[in-house]
Chains A and B, each alone.
Chain A
Amino acid sequence: MCRWSAISKGMAVLWLASACTALAHTRPRYGGTLRVETQADPWQAADSIGRRLVFDSLTRTDGSGAVQPALAVRWKAQNGNHRWEFWLRPGVHFHDGSPLTADRVQQSLERSCKQCPWTSVRALGDSLVFTTASPDPVLPEELARSEYAIAAEDVAGNPVGTGPFRFVSNGNYLLSLAAADDAWQGRPFVDAVEITGRRVVRTQWLDLSAGHADVVDVPVEAVRQAQQERLNVIQSGDCDLLVLSVARNGVLAEDARREAVALAVDRAALYNVIFQKQGEMTASLLPDALTGYGFLFPVARDPARAQGLHGASGGATLMLVAEDMNAAMQLAAERIALNLREAGFHVQVATRSMNAEANGAPDLALKRIHLESADAQAALEQMLAAFGQTLTDESADPAALYRQEASFTQTHQVIPLLYLPRSYAVGARVHGLRLSPDGVPLLADVSLEDAK
């Protein structure tokens, strides 16, 4: 998803570092071990950096958001988009050498299906047949999402996929992967990838500077600092939505109160001060670069009107929780609380543990949602699903998407705040690092300068 934003700014991948040297393009070399460090767990989440290297999905989306074949080579909709058939790519094997079959794909999809868009999936020869309760014109786009990646286990119980790297081990937040020599998309250039998770950012940067790491995180609020420290920073377009989720109960049960919250929040302060002018302010669920209509959602605050809508009561104290524990999110939560107090609300910023002790859902939750889909309709479906909603109109027409988005955001259950990019710092020996459309490093295309 991030890609459009980058395109709209006239760049697919933006090198921010001042230390970037001008070199002629050379062919990638094979060999070496790429060392990656990250704040996140490298394996746990479906869209984690490790899983993205080991598993493939039936489809993928390219930088323009168009869906492309991956493990499925073609597909066909039938019965008014109620029935979809996907034909598998022949000759693909899992990393343990076993063939990719429709039965195994069916098993994988059934395991991963929690809030999935289909009602049933079954193997039919070398194809998969999906049926859906309602017409689903964007099922190919949805199947590109990492949560529907095709995973299996070998006889030892280790995860196996069909991606460019095979799983070797994972323990103490150190994930080891090795190049899959017979990967259907081609063997990666590096022989191995070691990903160290749960690493403090400052430590990551020190490791990068000392040559102990090749790719490290740069939190979006620290991009300027990284530049000042002359790190070589690569940045995606905007793909993480910072959003305030508003409960529809208690003080906030009334529409006017939730609207008052929306009008009270000062996005400009979040953007300028906390997130250091990275990304863009938004009041829409999808970025303007993707839809072209984001500007129709006003981002300006109106504290006077917020006070008017809130009224005089507002007795109960609202609990505001930042779901992400990092410092910038905590600061953002504090800033929003300040805005809401100015509008007459009583607000307490709580940690997740405090909220858990309070034994209830928070009134206000500050969340960061990763937008993976690169197609506007599939992206909106993903965003709505994140808040328990579904598309009500199957049309891909921009006006229909706008109406649905406006209809939902006008309930003020969700207040979009900022769209943020993802950033990484890259060592000097790393060549060819690009980011996926949703801001994940494409490590299979990386080669190392000193590889032999």
Chain B
Amino acid sequence: MTAAGYNRRHRMKSLWLRARVLAGLACTGLLLAWGPVCRAAEPWDTPATELAHQIATLTGPGAVSLTIRNNSAITLDEIPAIRRSLLNALSALGVTARPAADAATTVRVTLSQSARQGLWVAEVQQGPEVRVAMVSVANTAPATKPQGTPVLLRRTLLFAQAEPILDAQTMALPGNPHSLVVLSPDEIAIYHGGESGGAWVKGETFAIAHGRPYARDIRGRLEVDTAGGFKAYLPGVVCSAGQQETTAGAGLAVSCADSDDPWPAGLRRAFYNSSRNYFTGVTIPSVGGDAEPFYSLAELPGKNGAATVYSEVGGQFRVSDGASLRPLAGSRDWGSDVVGVQSECGAGAQLLATGSGDAMQDSLIAYEVAGHEAIAVSPPLPLDGQVVALWRTGEPATATMVLKTEQPLQYEAYRVSLVCNQ
């Protein structure tokens, strides 16, 4: 049995290409002899050919009755193409499909799948004896794609990976005006070239050394500066990145050190409890009133006056007008993360909050704060997983949202912005 591929996207792509190349070469050779038969390669040609070889080895040339059943995630509309590929490959080996009444040999092909990959199994029955052939196939489950919805809240996928993403931001670096910084618990990775829709290409990576184990619900965020550098804040660790001149030219240098320096939080700085998953409540400058420990805050410097909303560890949401902290009405079913964005819409500043979904799928809603009440100003943006990070970016009109999806398990970083008049 030969493995035709595995559940990796790039592998799948190479298989596809290989199948096309092989089929193309075969067609070139056949064209002169039997032009009308030549056709574009089907994606299933390679595994079908491999399975046909194994079947032919068991049956020898002659007539067989062939049945195909599907126990896998392959969609029904792909079955005819698979059947066609298999029949063509068998035919080339002298094995022809006939009705069951006309064939002494029965071949039952089951399109199955294991935990990791597709598995095509042929049961070849001649008399009472049943023999089995198998080929592994690149996983047939369709890849999960982010769903875009043309609503007031717009999200753009920046990057996705299986490892946790704490924050991700685009920035301009010397020589690379479109770069993406991805902050993970143990690494800062720089990617280049993906801003215009192309694939991000991994550039430099910098390991993050930390003296103590991180808390379980680890958080971290990036703060990009205008000089082509940035800071990465993690529990008990701060990394500083800046341009450095070397003999080879300008390059990025990153240094990390244990530190309890306050993190950027809205337009302020806030001290983070590095052994937990929240801010202590102490901010610079102070907002007035006694702040409780909080998960996040949103600053709304709107046309109707500034407001700061706190998502407190106790589950309450309170709003500060600079003089006092009061409970925020309309926040009953919010999640823990809020962020403020500025826009041309409405009051000029909106708060984004994860809304009531279910335990596995959040939604994102934009609110405006009037007095001590939050009023929804956008329909919910349905999400395919849980929001695990929601941070301001260097651009006031956007936020970074990190989504954790379960199938497949991965972390997706989005840029979220607000669109007026839609």
Contacts and interface: CB of A to CB of B under 8 A. Distances in A.
A291 B134 contact: no
Interface stretch (A20-28, A218-226, A312-320): A20-28
A189 B217 contact: yes
A30 interface: yes
B205 interface: no
A10 B214 CA distance: 32
Given A25-B362, A183-B213, A186-B216, A398 B114 contact: yes
B112 A7 contact: no
A293 to B, nearest CB: 6
A295 B116 contact: no
Contact of A402 (B132, B275, B277, B357): B132
B276 interface: yes
A26 B336 contact: yes
Interface residues of B, number: 50
Interface in B212-247: 212-218
Contact of A25 (B121, B212, B214, B357): B357
A185 interface: yes
A420 interface: no
Size class of A's contact patch?
Answer: 35 or more
Nearest to B214: A186
Contacts of A26: 315, 335-336
A interface SS class: loop
Contact of A292 (B114, B336, B359, B409): B114
Interface string A5-44: 0011010100100001011111111100000000000000
B389 to A, nearest CB: 10
Contacts of A29: 313
B381 interface: no
A126 interface: no
A427 interface: no
Interface string A276-300: 0000000000001111110110000
Interface string A354-389: 000000000000000000001010000000000000
Contacts of A8: 113
Interface string B21-49: 00000000000000000000000000000
Contact of B114 (A3, A291, A400, A445): A291
Q: Which residue, of B337, B359, B387, B406, has the highest number of chain A Cβ atoms within 10 A? A: B359
Contacts of B118: 292
Given A64-B115, A186-B214, A25 B386 contact: yes
A12 B405 CA distance: 11
Nearest to A396: B3
A153 interface: no
A149 interface: no
Interface in B323-372: 333-337, 354-359, 362
B110 interface: yes
Contacts of A28: 216-217, 277
B407 A12 contact: yes
A308 B315 CA distance: 70
B218 A295 contact: no
A12 B406 contact: yes
B358 A65 contact: no
Interface of A: 3-4, 7-8, 10, 12, 15, 20, 22-30, 63-66, 164, 181-189, 288-293, 295-296, 374, 376, 397-400, 402, 444-445, 452
Q: Which 6 A-B pairs have the closest CB atoms?
A: A186-B216, A292-B119, A292-B114, A399-B1, A4-B115, A24-B335
9 contacts: A23-B333, A23-B356, A30-B277, A64-B116, A183-B213, A186-B217, A290-B114, A293-B112, A296-B132
Given A7-B115, A400-B1, A444-B216, 5 more contacts: A27-B337, A28-B277, A66-B116, A293-B132, A295-B71
